[in-house]
C-alpha cells in the first residue's frame, strides 16, 4: 500500500493523539473517524482535516468507509465489544491499552484474534519512547549481564477528566493498575523475558477524587500503590505509583539492574543512562526529537514511532510488535495487583488462567 488509510474509533484525547501522529507519518492518512459524542467528533474532525468521513456509529464506519486499518481509542470498557465487531472484517487493528478491562474478555480476544488475517496490535506507547526503546535494546543484548531486578516509578498528576467521567470508576477502567499501569507491566514482562508468576500489591485511594460525586457515587480508583511481581525464572519487578505528585523532576523512571550493571531511562526528558559495577563505560545520553513529533500528544513522540512500526508490519506482513497475548498478560498482572489490594494477599497468575 502506498498509503494506509485509517479509521479512528473514539476521538477523545488519545484518539486525537493518534490522528495527529498518523498525519506526521509518510505512509498513513486518517480517512474516517467515529465517536458518539458530538464534542469529541468535532475534535477529531479538526485534527483530521478536510476530506475525513465522520460517523457517529463506528459500525457504520466499518461498513462504509474506505479504510485499511482501525485504531480503537474508545473508553476501556468498550474495547471488547468493539473488537468483536472489527474481527468480522479483515481490517488491521491497533487497539489502545488496556486490551480489555476483564481478564476473561482477554482470553476470549486471544482466541478470536487467532482466527483472523488482519494484524492485531496493542497500543503500548512506552515501548516506543526513545530512551525506553534504547534501554530495551541494551537489556536484550545483555549490556549489563543477566537482569535480576526491574523497578519502575511513576510520580505524576491525577487522572484527567474524560467524557461523562467514565474513568472515575474501576468498573469502567478495570482499576488504576489495569488502566494506567498495564503498559508498565508490559515493559516488565518484556524485560524479564519470563512468565509473571505471582503479584503482591499494596495501594489505596488516599487523596484524589474523594470530593467528587457522579450520580451520587464517589470515584473508587486508587491513586497510589506499590506492586511487586515475581517471575518464574527468579527475576523480581516493582512498580511505585503515585498520582498526586505533580512537578516531579522525572515523571517516569525505569531501572533494569543486572549482574554487571544498571540501565535507566527517564521520561519525559528522554534520558538514558548505563553504569557498570566495575566503573567502566558509563554512558548518559539524551535523545532529541523533532519538535512536531515530540509535541504531538502526551506520550513524548512514542505514538509516532508506534505508527511507523505498525505500518511497516502491515506492508511487510510481519507479526505485530505488541501482540494480543502481550496485551492480555499485562492486563492480567494489573488485575492480579488490584485483587491483591482488595484481598490483602499475593495472587498467583494461574488463578487468572495465565
Residue of 289, 288, 255 whose CA lies nearest to 274: 255
Mean pLDDT to the nearest integer, 225-245: 98
Q: Is residue 306 part of a domain?
A: no
Q: What are phi and psi for residue 159, nearest 5 degrees?
A: -60, 140
| Statement to judge: residues 86 and 201 lie in one domain | no
Last residue in a domain, options 67, 95, 125: 125
Kindly state the average pLDDT of the residues 39-62. Answer: 96
Same domain membership, residue 145 and residue 86 = no
Q: Are residues 139 and 108 in the same domain?
A: no
> How confident is the model over 131-176, as pLDDT tens digits?
999 999 999 999 999 999 999 999 999 999 998 899 999 999 999 9
In a domain, 314, yes or no: no
> What whole-number percentage of the chain has pLDDT above 70?
100
Task: Confirm whether 147 is domain-assigned.
Answer: yes
pLDDT score of 292: 84
Domain identity same for 45 and 178: no
Q: Are residues 148 and 205 in the same domain?
A: yes
3-state secondary structure the chain: CCCEEEEEECCCHHHHHHHHHHHHCCCEEEEEEECCCHHHHHHHHHHHCCCCEEECCHHHHHHHCCCCEEEECCCHHHHHHHHHHHCCCCCEEEEECCCCCCHHHHHHHHHHHCCCCCCEEEECHHHHCHHHHHHHHHHHCCECECEEEEEEEEECCCCCCCHHHHHHCHHHHCCHHHHCCHHHHHHHHHHHCCCEEEEEEEEECCCCCCCCCECCECCCCCCEEEEEEEECCCCEEEEEEECCCCCCCCCEEEEEEECCEEEEEEECCCEEEEEECCCCCCEEEECCCCHHHHCCCCCCCHHHHHHHHHHHHHHHCCCCCCCHHHHHHHHHHHHHHHHHHHHCCCEEHHHHCC
CA–CA separation, 102 and 80 (whole Å) = 9
Confidence of residue 120 (pLDDT cuts 50, 70, 90): very high
Boundary (domain end) residue, out of 74, 94, 125: 125
Is 310 a member of any domain? Answer: no
Q: How far apart are CA 30 and CA 20, in angstroms?
A: 9
Whether pLDDT at 300 is above 90 = no
The whole-chain average pLDDT of the chain stands at 96
pLDDT at residue 303 in the model: 96
Q: Is residue 315 part of a domain?
A: no
CATH of residue 282: 3.30.360.10
Residue 38 has what pLDDT? 96
Residue 221 pLDDT grade (very low, low, confident, very high; cuts 50, 70, 90):
very high
Number of structural domains (the chain) is 2
218 & 108 share domain:
no
Whether residue 144 is found in the same domain as residue 109: no
Residues 19 and 79 in one domain: yes
Mean pLDDT, range 4-20, rounded to an integer: 97
Average pLDDT over residues 117-141: 96
Q: Does residue 277 fall inside a structural domain?
A: yes
**Whether residue 69 is found in the same domain as residue 101:** yes
Confidence of residue 228 (pLDDT cuts 50, 70, 90): very high
Query: At which residue does the C-alpha cell 500489591 appear?
Result: 201
Confidence band for 117, pLDDT divided at 50, 70 and 90: confident
pLDDT digits (tens, 9 = 90+) for 256-296: 999 999 999 999 999 999 999 999 889 999 999 887 888 88
Q: Does residue 313 belong to any structural domain of this protein?
A: no
Per the DSSP assignment, residues forming a β-bridge with 94 are 71, 121
Question: Are 53 and 150 part of one and the same domain?
Answer: no
Is the domain of 244 the same as that of 133?
yes
What's the CATH number where 61 sits?
A: 3.40.50.720
pLDDT at 293: 85
User: What pLDDT is stored for residue 289 in this prediction?
Assistant: 87
Which pLDDT score, from 0 to 100, does residue 124 have? 96
* Domain boundary pick from 108, 125, 142: 125
Average of per-residue pLDDT across 41-62: 96
pLDDT at residue 1 tops 80? no
Residues 202 and 339 in one domain: yes
Q: Phi and psi for 77 in degrees, rounded to 5?
A: -70, -10
pLDDT of residue 298: 80
Contact partners, residue 103, CB within 8 Å, separation at least 6: 328, 331, 332, 335, 352, 353
Domain of residue 118, residue span: 4-125
Amino acid at each position: 500500500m502506498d498509503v494506509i488509510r485509517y479509521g479512528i474509533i473514539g476521538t477523545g484525547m488519545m484518539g486525537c493523539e493518534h490522528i495527529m501522529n498518523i498525519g506526521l507519518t509518510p505512509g498513513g492518512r486518517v480517512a474516517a473517524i467515529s465517536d458518539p459524542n458530538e464534542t469529541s467528533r468535532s475534535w477529531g474532525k479538526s485534527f483530521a482535516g478536510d476530506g475525513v468521513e465522520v460517523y457517529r456509529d463506528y459500525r457504520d464506519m466499518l461498513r462504509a468507509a474506505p479504510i485499511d486499518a482501525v485504531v480503537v481509542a474508545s473508553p476501556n470498557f468498550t474495547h471488547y465489544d468493539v473488537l468483536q465487531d472489527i474481527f468480522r472484517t479483515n481490517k488491521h487493528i491497533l487497539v489502545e491499552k488496556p486490551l480489555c478491562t476483564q481478564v476473561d474478555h482477554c482470553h476470549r480476544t486471544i482466541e478470536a484474534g487467532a482466527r483472523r488475517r488482519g494484524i492485531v496490535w496493542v497500543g503500548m506507547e512506552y515501548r516506543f519512547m526513545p530512551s525506553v526503546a534504547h534501554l530495551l535494546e541494551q537489556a536484550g543484548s545483555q549490556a549489563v549481564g543477566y537482569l535480576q531486578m526491574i523497578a519502575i516509578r511513576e510520580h505524576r498528576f491525577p487522572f484527567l477528566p474524560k467524557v461523562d467521567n467514565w474513568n472515575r470508576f474501576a468498573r469502567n477502567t478495570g482499576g488504576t493498575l489495569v488502566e494506567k499501569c498495564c503498559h508498565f507491566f508490559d515493559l516488565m514482562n518484556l524485560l524479564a523475558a519470563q512468565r509473571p508468576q505471582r503479584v503482591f500489591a499494596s495501594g489505596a485511594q488516599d487523596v484524589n477524587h474523594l470530593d467528587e460525586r457522579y450520580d451520587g457515587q464517589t470515584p473508587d480508583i486508587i491513586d497510589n500503590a506499590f506492586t511487586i511481581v515475581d517471575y518464574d525464572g527468579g527475576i523480581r519487578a516493582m512498580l511505585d505509583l503515585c498520582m498526586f505528585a505533580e512537578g516531579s523532576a522525572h515523571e517516569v523512571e525505569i531501572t533494569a539492574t543486572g549482574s554487571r550493571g544498571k540501565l535507566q531511562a527517564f521520561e519525559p526528558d528522554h534520558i538514558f543512562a548505563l553504569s557498570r559495577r566495575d566503573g567502566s563505560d558509563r554512558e548518559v545520553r539524551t535523545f532529541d526529537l523533532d519538535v512536531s513529533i515530540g509535541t504531538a500528544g502526551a506520550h513524548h513522540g512514542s505514538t509516532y514511532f508506534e505508527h511507523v512500526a505498525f505500518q511497516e508490519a502491515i506492508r511487510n506482513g510481519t507479526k505485530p510488535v505488541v501482540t494480543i497475548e502481550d496485551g492480555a498478560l499485562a492486563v492480567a498482572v494489573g488485575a492480579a495487583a488490584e485483587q491483591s489490594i482488595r484481598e490483602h494477599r499475593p495472587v498467583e497468575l494461574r488463578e487468572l488462567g495465565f
